[in-house]
Amino acid sequence: MIQKEKESRREWLNYMFSYFANGTNANKQIKIWTNNNHPEEIFSQDFLKTKMDYIHNNPVRAGLVFNASDYIYSSAMDYEGKKGLIDVAYLE
């Protein structure tokens, strides 16, 4: 729960975290993530590239940056031959 930090939405966030935890077995008090993920098996290099492009373009779709490689917390720049914040192990 958000208790001590200055946060203008504290009451709303605490309510939402509690609301989504209601009725789940994982955590009775709070839940931050929703259940709508859909894991998929990576079955080819093309499929992997499609998924990586989707992930790399999330900050672009959110309006945070114009280019995927401009988002400093993304590995997109590594795949453009630049050096990102963390080392990336390339899949072959």
Q: 13-32, pLDDT tens digit by residue?
A: 777 777 777 766 665 666 66
Distance CA 13, CA 15 (A): 5
For residues 39 and 54, is the Cβ–Cβ distance under 8 A?
A: no
Given a cut of 80, whether residue 73 has pLDDT beyond it is yes
Which two tokens mark 72?
A: 């400093």
pTM for the whole thing? 0.58
Q: Which element (helix H / strand E) includes 17?
A: helix 10-21
Distance CA 40, CA 89 (A): 21
The residues near 75 (Cβ < 8 Å, ≥ 6 apart) are 56, 84, 86, 88
pLDDT at position 84, please?
85
Kindly report the length of the chain: 92
For residues 2 and 13, is the Cβ–Cβ distance under 8 A?
A: yes
